[in-house]
């Protein structure tokens, strides 16, 4: 049998580093045939097998080059095993036969593939760290030539605001340290937001908080039990306005922990010193006027329960006023009392006007059976500085014949009017 010896030289062809580089490389060898070995000139078939170990194992890839001219023992072929050079050891096993027939004769030992084919991979790496090269971004070395960058895929690191980033490693972050325009979409803050400047909604702010718009403009504070706004000075408790459970509106004195004004939602009744106002204005406490009362008169309209007086004069509930006068003045007092006879018999009613517990005048009226009449009177008297009490008292000929009724009759109600006229 003809003996074949092989001397091998592997090299990369010129122009190997040009753009468009592939995984193909050039293999050159010297083939000696016969005994004694001689350089031959004849065509041969070659089979090239790529292994990861020097003996045994299975071929990673196999290539055949048929009818290859051999001139004085020298031959040249181009081989392309594809993406099979990741950096791990590779060995080339060669088998030959005369062109056109017979079995391939394997030449041993396998040849270690050194730097030349790997220089192809180094020039145009298919993978880096096991990741395909086309998965990396192209850059000129300092990041300024990054292309095809999808900012939504950045999960770590910080991109400076000057370069279009957020200045933060946290995604979905809007930089608020510099002037920003065109910030759209809804933003949700889960922590605290502190603004050292001014905030304008719908306008450039002229105050710390400036809200402007057309039509109805509302600032809304919502709570399940107490929604309001607190006003303080130097962080000390002051006043609050709020809507509380039940829909009531209140002005609250935070300094002393008490309601100052209370408005009920169903009636719009206003209470001062009370949270259950029974009239349009219900005051729990004294009403004091100092100086000149500029209005034409002071009026108290009554909404009290009926009384059934006897022969002893009884102050009609609600028909009593305490007046504080700062100097000499005249009191012009006017009253009207609605009187109703509860049976068919006539009865006599007396209405006394008492000033500082003294009776100033008495009105007498006979009331017809089952009828309604009004008893009225007026009085003008001089008083000095101090507190003066004006009362309207009622009495009757019996404890059962006369019923005095107040309120609930439109404008025809019982009332007491006291006008202070400074001297």
| Token couple for 189 | 């803050």
Residues 327 and 385 in one domain: yes
Q: What is the distance between the alpha carbons of residues 50 and 62, in angstroms, rounded to a whole number?
A: 6
Among candidate residues 131, 146, 165, the one where a domain is terminated: 131
Q: Does 67 share its domain with 125?
A: yes
* Together in a domain, 261 and 305: no
Domain that holds residue 274: 230-283
The first and second tokens of residue 321, run together, are 């006023």
Strand 329-341 with 415-422, pairing: antiparallel
Q: Is residue 234 situated within a structural domain? A: yes
Q: What is the pLDDT of residue 376?
A: 86
Q: What is the pLDDT of residue 44?
A: 94
352 in the same domain as 275: no
Q: What is the CATH number of the domain that holds 403?
A: 2.60.120.760
| Residues 279-317 pLDDT 10s | 888 887 766 555 544 433 333 333 333 455 566 788 877
Q: What confidence score (pLDDT) does residue 281 get?
A: 83
The domain boundary, picked from 131, 161, 189, lies at 131
- Ranges of the chain with pLDDT below 50: 1-2, 7-19, 292-306, 399-401, 406-411
Is 141 among the domain residues? no
Shared-domain flag, residues 84 and 46: yes
- Say if residue 335 is in the same domain as residue 311: yes
User: 28: domain CATH number?
Assistant: 2.60.40
In a domain, 273, yes or no: yes
- Residue 293 covered by a domain: no
Do 236 and 324 share a domain, yes or no? no
Same domain (yes/no): 304, 379 = yes
β-partners of residue 242 are 228, 250
Predicted local confidence at residue 12, as pLDDT: 38
Residues 410, 386, single domain; the answer is: yes
Q: Is residue 396 part of a domain?
A: yes
DSSP letters spanning 279-324: SSEEE-S-----S---SS-EEEE--PPPB---SS-EEEEEEEEEEE
208: left (phi over 0), alpha (psi -120 to 50) or beta: alpha
Query: Is residue 272 assigned to a domain?
Result: yes
> Considering the domain boundaries, does residue 219 fall inside one?
no
- Spell out the residues 6+ positions from residue 194 whose beta carbon is closer than 8 angstroms to its own: none
Are 314 and 252 found together in one domain? no
Q: In this structure, what DSSP letter does residue 54 have?
A: S
Q: What's residue 413's pLDDT?
A: 62
Domain co-membership, 368 together with 314: yes
Distance (Å, whole) CA 209 – CA 205: 7
pLDDT for 9? 42
| Same domain flag for 247 and 353 | no
pTM surpassing 0.75? no
243 falls within a domain: yes
* Contact indicator for 385, 326 with CB cutoff of 8 Å: yes
Q: At which of 131, 149, 168 does a domain end? A: 131
Dihedral pair phi/psi, residue 120, rounded to 5°: -65, -45
Say how many domains are in the chain: 3
């Amino acid at each position: 049998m003809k003996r074949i010896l092989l001397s091998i030289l592997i090299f990369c062809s010129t122009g190997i580093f040009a753009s468009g580089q592939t995984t193909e490389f050039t293999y050159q060898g010297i083939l000696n045939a016969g005994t004694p070995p001689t350089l031959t000139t004849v065509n041969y078939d070659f089979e090239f097998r790529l292994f990861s170990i020097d003996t045994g194992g299975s071929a990673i890839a196999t290539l055949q080059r048929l009818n290859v001219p051999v001139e004085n023992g020298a031959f040249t072929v181009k081989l392309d095993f594809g993406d099979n050079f990741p950096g791990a050891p590779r060995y080339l096993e060669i088998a030959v036969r005369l062109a056109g027939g017979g079995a391939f004769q394997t030449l041993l030992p396998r040849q270690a593939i050194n730097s030349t084919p790997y220089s192809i991979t180094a020039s145009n790496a298919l993978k880096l760290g096991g990741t395909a090269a086309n998965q990396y971004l192209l850059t000129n070395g300092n990041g300024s030539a990054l292309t095809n960058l999808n900012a939504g895929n950045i999960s770590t690191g910080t991109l400076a605001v000057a370069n279009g980033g957020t200045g933060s490693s946290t995604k979905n972050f809007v930089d608020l340290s510099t002037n920003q325009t065109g910030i759209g979409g809804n933003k949700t803050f889960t922590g605290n937001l502190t603004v050292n400047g001014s905030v304008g909604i719908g306008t450039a702010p002229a105050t710390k908080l400036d809200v402007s718009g057309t039509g109805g403009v509302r600032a809304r504070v919502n709570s399940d039990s107490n929604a309001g706004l607190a006003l303080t000075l130097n962080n000390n408790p002051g006043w609050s306005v709020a809507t509380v459970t039940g829909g009531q509106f209140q002005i609250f004195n935070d300094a002393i922990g008490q309601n100052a004004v209370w408005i009920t939602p169903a009636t719009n009744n206003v209470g001062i010193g009370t949270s259950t106002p029974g009239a349009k204005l219900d005051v729990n406490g004294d009403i004091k006027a100092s100086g000149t009362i500029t209005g034409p008169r002071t009026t108290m309209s009554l909404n009290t329960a009926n009384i059934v007086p006897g022969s002893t004069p009884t102050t009609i509930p609600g028909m009593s006023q305490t007046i504080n006068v700062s100097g000499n003045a005249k009191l012009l007092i006017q009253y009207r009392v609605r009187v109703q006879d509860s049976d068919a018999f006539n009865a006599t009613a007396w209405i006394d006007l008492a000033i500082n517990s003294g009776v100033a005048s008495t009105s007498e009226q006979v009331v017809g059976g089952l009828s309604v009449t009004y008893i009225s009177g007026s009085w003008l008297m001089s008083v000095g500085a101090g507190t003066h009490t004006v009362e309207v008292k009622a009495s009757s000929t019996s404890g059962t014949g006369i019923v005095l009724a107040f309120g609930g009759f439109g404008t025809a109600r019982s009332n007491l009017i006291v006008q202070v006229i400074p001297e």
